[in-house]
Structure 1
Amino acid sequence: MPPDAPFDVELLIEARWVLPMSEDLPTLADHAVAIRAGRLLGPWPIAIARQRVNAQRVLRLDHHALLPGLVNAHNHAGMSLMRGFADDLPLMTWLNEHIWPAEAAHINPGFVADGTRLAIAEMLRSGTTTFADMYLAPEAAADVIGETGIRSQLCTPLIDFPTPWAEDFGTGLARTEALVARCQDHPLIGLAFGPHAPYTVGDDSLKRLREARERLDLPIQMHVHETADEVEQSLREHGKRPLRRLFEAGLLDARFQAVHMTQIDDEDLAIIAETGIQLVHCPQSNLKLASGFCPVERLRAMGVNIALGTDGAASNNDLDMFDEMRCAALLAKGVSGDAAALPAMATLAMATRDGAHALGLGKRVGQLREGYEADLIAVDLDELNTQPVHHPASAIVYAMNSRQVSHVWVAGRPKLVEGELCDIDVQELKRMAAARQRAMSHTRQQGEAQ
């Protein structure tokens, strides 16, 4: 083929704006990207794109912004069936008296599969193309991920006491190893260890976790410093803060994903700087459970990479990353006392490029760059609430709602077209959710009657 001859692509997408989310590229007006064999080409100015490619199909989006698919860096997808089950309670009351008893009564692979399917539909509808999941029965979640075609990091649930998934921590490690063997060649699924929290994992288990990590070479995602009570309990029992325990256990490095981190002092900051751990910020869940505030702007000033997550629908109560972005941006300003804190483009980076980096996917997704996997979304900014559009990033973070997501692609495959989910039966999902709600309500009523 002559050097200047156009090349064949499956799809050319021409948009009013393209937000590549690459540090070297600003927002681009009237640009296009192409999809070929599940990967991205471009971006180019539209006139140049038309010369560069022969497209089987051209999608013209005159009022839209194209951006990378959103990365929800922390979720408990199977818990979507517990949305609204136990609201307006502090974390430990919520866990000990409501969530863990409900899990003991209801959790099985079928429940987790149904909850995960509901969660994935919600996430795809609202522009999320990658999510990190930490929940029971990850084998069932893996099956649903394979069916729906979303990208995921599955964090296997590791905890010292018995759960519906594993009898103890050691059993959980063995099941993790089996799941790694099963999913190692899956193009959309990565695995991580998911130890619940320092207060549910003892020192012996932390040692076993370090040994397993060295053997399996997996990242670790863990709830850390979620509440002040957690830190105080650790000081009483161990004489040190939880992050210090994890540091001394040899677990903290650039592949450790610390979720929440609402309680941070100078000692913690020094450990974070030394180890280069990833932080996952879940502002709405933290606010709803009154857990505290992650000092995002102070951490950003140190160069710490911070991703964004929704947490589960049982404590949020939605999986809408656009909602999460707005909350994160506003909260950062309020906590820091600086209206310039966490500007719109930095907030978008947390939900795309920085989230991908935190999950170890930064060279594959999270940016619209040539050769990256074609995980991208289009958002329609031609709505009253986003008019006029002076700055697309500002409109997306501060004014847009997720119903304006019009198109979603994962690995080049369409998952949402003109606002309608592909290959997902929404009405069947609603019927399933209603049936699960009735069953949980019946069990609760029986318990209250005894």
Structure 2
Amino acid sequence: MSQKTEIDLIVSASWVIPVVPRNCVLENYSVAIDQERIVAIEPSGELHKSYQPKQHLNLEGHAIIPGLINAHGHAAMSLMRGYADDKPLMEWLEQHIWPAEQKWVSEQFIIDGVQLAMAEMIATGTTCFSDMYFYPEHTAAEANKAGMRAQVNFPVLDFPTMWASGPDEYISKGLQLAEDYACEPRINIGFGPHAPYTVADEPLQKIAEFAKAKQAPVQIHLHETAYEVSAAIESTGRRPSQRLHDLGVLSERTQCVHMTQVDDEDIVLLQQSGAHVVHCPESNLKLASGLCPTEKLIQAGINVCLGTDGAASNNDLDLFAEMRSAALIGKITANDAAAIDAMTALEMATINGAKAMAIDTLVGSIEVNKQADLVAIDLSGIEHQPMYAPISQLVYTQVGHKVSHVWVNGELLFKNGQHQTLDIESLRIKAIEWQQKLKAR
């Protein structure tokens, strides 16, 4: 009898949904994990013949999926959840959000807000998030401390803010941050030019050059509203996407957020450049920004992933909810009930996000040798019966609150509904304190 290999953990579940290959549902399977990586995926009765785990977790009635990837947000804005609801975009920004940020955003605001956001994201199955906000050094530090995976995009704008005086300082501080985290495998630093209408040609060209040299991601709000596009055409004679293309900003490293206003010329530019689209369905709905034509983009071979945007315009960070909204909106915009099916929506929240961030060799699916970023969802409740199609249940029913376990790099961040790396009671107190400050205005 051959000797068994000692490993850290075996997780057994009623269903393992690896995402790659697509539409695959493995019934009564187990995932073996050792030293942060997935080492085997086999029927539950088979793994114990080859492996001796230090721990075996049997999650009957659960589904195991890859960790969800929130490809766009402003984590610290969780402290502004519900602060200024039901306002048009520019009124919301100019009269409410920007004045509040000017008054209240500080290093401590970022620390507390990011922790609050991570608590919500972890509890609803997100293991990796992309962020674009002020004091990115604190976002990176808090994500690293909590054990999450993150792409932290440092902001770049033409005008001064509490973090920097102008484009040169934004970029200089951001490049230093990238150096500081060069050896942290879970944290990647990217460029975050806010939008074409807030960043001039010269800094955008610099960003394009630096990003190419350093193979760094670039994330930018793009074609968020019809007004943005029409105003750009009036002032420059070009659609914003064409301007970015001409400046060299669009590439396979570029993540275009929102893209609710898309024509055939935009699609050609996205195809040629290899740029990705980050769809934020619920934020776009709430701010009446428009509807991203996701089915048309996907049929054109463009990678589309999902983001929540910030909690100030959503108001939650639950990617399961975004999956459902993305699927339903995708059908109505395509006028086709078969468009953006459940599997496609799940891909948008997992492997497609990993592709956009260029980490798909590490995460985004459950495959041998990939990092063990996993989520367990309890589907044993009566509201999930009968179980014809687990993937459909994950997308079309409300399951974010059913997450029971979350692992990143094989480290358990959420166990039986309890956080393992965040102090929730302390966060609750801090959130109330910030509410009282902002409410007083």
Tell me the TM-score range normalised by the shorter chain.
Answer: over 0.9
* Alignment of 1:10 onto 2:8: yes
SS of the residue 1:34 aligns to: strand
* Alignment of 1:309 onto 2:302: no
Deviation at 1:95, TM superposition (A): 1.1
Deviation at 1:420, TM superposition (A): 1.0
Aligned residue in 2 for 1:244:
242
1:145-187 Cα shifts (integer Å, max 9, x gaps): 1221100000000010111111111110000111011111112
Deviation at 1:250, TM superposition (A): 0.9
SS of the residue 1:155 aligns to: strand
Deviation at 1:49, TM superposition (A): 1.0
Deviation at 1:25, TM superposition (A): 7.2
Aligned residue in 2 for 1:447:
none
In structure 2, what residue type is equivalent to 1:151?
Answer: R
Runs (4+) off by over 4 Å:
none
Distance 1:395 1:338 in 2: 20
1:179-208 Cα shifts (integer Å, max 9, x gaps): 011111112100110000001011122122
Aligned residue in 2 for 1:146:
144
The counterpart of 1:263, out of the listed 236, 261, 264, is 261
Work out whether residues 215 and 253 of structure 2, in 8 Å CA contact, stay in contact via their aligned partners in 1. no
In structure 2, what residue type is equivalent to 1:256?
Answer: T
Work out whether residues 173 and 212 of structure 1, in 8 Å CA contact, stay in contact via their aligned partners in 2. no
Identity %, equivalent residues: 44
Deviation at 1:335, TM superposition (A): 1.2
In structure 1, what residue type is equivalent to 2:234?
Answer: R
Distance 1:14 1:212 in 2: 45
Aligned residue in 2 for 1:448:
none
* Alignment of 1:277 onto 2:275: yes
Note the 1:191-202 alignment, pairs <5 A: 191-202=189-200
Work out whether residues 112 and 430 of structure 2, in 8 Å CA contact, stay in contact via their aligned partners in 1. yes
Distance 2:299 2:208 in 1: 30
Structure 1: 5+ residue runs without aligned partners?
Answer: 445-450
Note the 1:132-211 alignment, pairs <5 A: 132-211=130-209
Deviation at 1:24, TM superposition (A): 6.2
Aligned residue in 2 for 1:322:
320
How many equivalent residue pairs? 441
* Alignment of 1:409 onto 2:407: yes
Deviation at 1:384, TM superposition (A): 1.9
Distance 2:383 2:14 in 1: 18
Distance 2:53 2:170 in 1: 48
Note the 1:38-437 alignment, pairs <5 A: 38-437=36-435
Distance 1:362 1:65 in 2: 21
In structure 1, what residue type is equivalent to 2:25?
Answer: T
Work out whether residues 33 and 40 of structure 2, in 8 Å CA contact, stay in contact via their aligned partners in 1. no
Deviation at 1:241, TM superposition (A): 0.2
Work out whether residues 386 and 400 of structure 1, in 8 Å CA contact, stay in contact via their aligned partners in 2. no
1:60-105 Cα shifts (integer Å, max 9, x gaps): 1110000000000001001110111111111111111111111110
Deviation at 1:400, TM superposition (A): 3.3
Distance 2:287 2:23 in 1: 38
1:211-248 Cα shifts (integer Å, max 9, x gaps): 32234331100000000000011001110000000000
In structure 2, what residue type is equivalent to 1:105?
Answer: K
Distance 2:219 2:421 in 1: 31
Distance 1:284 1:227 in 2: 14
SS of the residue 2:313 aligns to: coil
Distance 2:34 2:438 in 1: 46
In structure 1, what residue type is equivalent to 2:24?
Answer: P
In structure 2, what residue type is equivalent to 1:410?
Answer: V
Deviation at 1:50, TM superposition (A): 1.5
Work out whether residues 69 and 377 of structure 1, in 8 Å CA contact, stay in contact via their aligned partners in 2. yes
Aligned residue in 2 for 1:37:
35
Distance 1:404 1:25 in 2: 22
Distance 1:212 1:345 in 2: 36
Distance 1:185 1:425 in 2: 27
**TM score, norm. by length of structure 2:** 0.98
Deviation at 1:383, TM superposition (A): 1.1
In structure 2, what residue type is equivalent to 1:10?
Answer: D
**TM score, norm. by length of structure 1:** 0.96
SS of the residue 1:373 aligns to: coil
Work out whether residues 159 and 168 of structure 1, in 8 Å CA contact, stay in contact via their aligned partners in 2. yes
Distance 1:171 1:74 in 2: 23
Aligned residue in 2 for 1:26:
24
Distance 2:39 2:23 in 1: 15
Deviation at 1:386, TM superposition (A): 1.1
In structure 2, what residue type is equivalent to 1:181?
Answer: E
Deviation at 1:107, TM superposition (A): 0.9
In structure 1, what residue type is equivalent to 2:425?
Answer: Q
Distance 1:70 1:210 in 2: 28
Root mean square deviation, CA, Å? 1.1
